[in-house]
Amino acid sequence: MDDVIAAIMTPPGEGGIGGIRISGRDAWVVAAQVLRSLSGKEARASRVRHLYTGQAVDPINGVLLDQVTYVRMEAPHSFTGENTVEVFGHGGPLNMKRLMAAFMVAGARPAEAGEFSKRAFLNGRLDLTQAEAIVDLISAKSERGLQQAIHQLQGGLTEAVGTIESALLLYTAALEAQIDFPEDEVTSEDLAGLRKELVGWRRDLKELERSADAGRLIREGILVAIIGPPNVGKSSLLNALMRYERAIVTEIPGTTRDPLEEYVNLQGFVFRLTDTAGIHETDNPVERIGIQRSMEYLRQADAVLLILDAGDDGATRQLSPGLGEAIAAKEHVIIVLNKADLPARIAEEEIAVLFPGRPVVKTSILRGEGLGPLQDTLINEVFNGRVPASEGYLAVNERHKAALGDAVRSLEQAEQAIAGGLEPDLIVTDLRAALNALGRISGKSADESIVEAIFSHFCVGK
């Protein structure tokens, strides 16, 4: 880690300012070959974390490259925890490239994607959940996703897990001490106390594990398939939620052939809405391909809006065989009775029998009615009635989920070991395994390969 790395840290393209970050023990030695004071003398930056104005020159022939500002930071008081220099020039792509080249000539090497953050992790400046939060924050597509990432960057998940980790460590260390000094025998009261704690920890960890699904939906967006028979208003609904005429709407059944997929931000959540071809029996080969795609979307979707025409008699008549079954297999389905402006001909009892327990929303997309309740119902349904509050988001991802699952299993085994009256050292083995699993979340006990995988998702310059 002794080499000096450098990268352009601002996005490519024209902008007011472009920044270059240089990090490593000799960062200033490298930077000083390029930087000059305003009057063209050797740059000093004698005070750390002060912004200086000066020039950047070609280190070989001294030709002026740009007017810049620069700031020097000393280890460990920088993002990476190393000596760091940040240089700000005029943000043009060619200008930044030329400045960057000057620092390369002066002895820096281009940083790999995420290398600054990786150094920050290796120097103990951030843990793995915070590193992941940086990626989430930069790529956030919604207000909620952003809040989740910021909370995680503050150490939200590490803190939640850390409380259990410390308590678990205390018990484990106490048990180990008692094993080493057999005169302090492990009493059955000790074990009963531990067992009680184990139940509580397991419940808390399981709760965190469950929140991984909500975390993913907030981060990646919620895939919603708009499904139903032809001509019920599926494309109209997409347009209404997008607030512009995205999909073609006609009174001709079979207008939509290809599924359309669009991002839309509803109440701070990102949705990937897909308008699909109407599902019905048909011999038209083009329509049939469209219908197959509709069924694929139906299977993939996080939630399904099944649209029916309330003005058409009999829900049963509107459904093709196969659709009902596919719907029944989905966890989150909302029945939308559209065209509520027309005389109602679908009996709600029939809906209740066909789709037991599914929420039903009446809309008239034509009149713009019922769309608010539909959004509320959708969000409520997707998060199982527990819409995450704005504060207190935990960005539990698949990696955390796996570690939490392993920890829960090890704690379970420890419980069984106690119940079965096994030797204390066997109990300790399970407790240590649980600690190890929890340590993977923050990175205390993560493999090199996991660390590599996380930082490879970063952009260059971060």
Ligand X SMILES: Nc1nc2c(ncn2[C@@H]2O[C@H](COP(=O)(O)OP(=O)(O)O)[C@@H](O)[C@H]2O)c(=O)[nH]1
Pair type for strands 222-227 and 269-275: parallel
Cross-strand partners of 155:
none
Read out DSSP for 226-276? EE-STTSSHHHHHHHHHTS--S---SSTT---S-EEEEEEETTEEEEEEE-
Residue 250 touches ligand X, criterion: CB under 6 A: yes
Q: Is the bond into 76 cis (omega within 30 degrees of 0)?
A: yes
CB of 247 to Mg ion, least distance (A): 6
The partner in contact with residue 202, picked from ligand X, Mg ion, none with C-beta cut-offs of 5 to 8 angstroms by kind, is none
Site string for ligand X, 317-356 (x = CB under 6 A): ---------------------xx-xx--------------
User: How far apart are CB 331 and Mg ion at their closest, in Å?
Assistant: 25
Using CB under 6 A, pick the residue from 365, 378, 417, 427 that binds ligand X: 365
Give the type of residue at 198.
L
Return the amino acid letter for 415. E
Residue with Cβ nearer Mg ion (72 or 234)? 234
CB of 312 to ligand X, least distance (A): 11
- CA 165/CA 434 separation, integer angstroms: 9
> Which one among 231, 377, 410, 413 touches ligand X, defined by CB under 6 A?
231
Residue number with CB closer to ligand X (339 or 358): 339
Q: How many residues bind ligand X (CB under 6 A)?
A: 20
CB of 280 to Mg ion, least distance (A): 12
Binding site partner of 341, from Mg ion, ligand X, none, Cβ cut-off 5-8 A by kind: ligand X
Note whether 153 and 462 are within 8 A (CB): no
Q: Does 274 bind ligand X (CB under 6 A)?
A: no
Using rule CB under 6 A, residue 234 touches ligand X: yes
Binding-site partner at residue 342 among ligand X, Mg ion, none, CB < 5 to 8 Å by type:
ligand X
Please answer whether residues 225 and 274 qualify as being in contact, where contact means their C-beta atoms are separated by less than 8 angstroms. yes
Interface with Mg ion (CB under 5 A) = 234-235, 255-256
* 253-272 binders of ligand X (CB under 6 A): 255-256
H or E element: which one contains 265?
strand 260-266
425 φ, ψ to 5°? -70, -25
How would you list the strands of the sheet with 109-110, edge to edge? 35-37, 51-57, 64-73, 84-91, 15-23, 5-8, 109-110
Of 19, 54, 278, 424, the one binding ligand X (CB under 6 A) is 278
Query: What, of ligand X, Mg ion, none, does residue 281 touch, CB below 5 to 8 Å by kind?
Result: none
Rg (CA), the chain: 30
Tell me which stretch binds ligand X (CB under 6 A): 126-134, 185-193, 224-232, 417-425: 224-232
Residue 444: CB minimum distance to ligand X, A:
53
Please state, in angstroms and rounded to a whole number, the distance separating the CA atoms of residues 209 and 204.
9
Amino acid at position 310, single letter: A
Give dist(CA 402, CA 438) in Å, integer. Answer: 10
Closer residue to ligand X in complex, CB, 220/312? 312
Partner residues linked to 8 by β-bridges: 20
Comparing CB distances to ligand X, the nearer of 344 and 422 is 344
Under rule CB under 6 A, residue 371 binds ligand X: no
Torsion angle in degrees (nearest 10) through CA of 402, 406, 409, 411:
-130
Q: Find the shortest distance in angstroms from Cβ 306 to Mg ion.
A: 14
Instruction: Tell me how far apart the alpha carbons of residues 304 and 302 are, in angstroms, rounded to a whole number.
Output: 7
In the complex, the smallest distance separating the C-beta of residue 288 from Mg ion, rounded to whole angstroms, is: 16
From the list 160-168, 227-235, 394-402, 424-432, the region that binds ligand X by CB under 6 A is 227-235
Interface positions with ligand X (CB under 6 A): 230-236, 249-251, 255-256, 278, 338-339, 341-342, 364-366
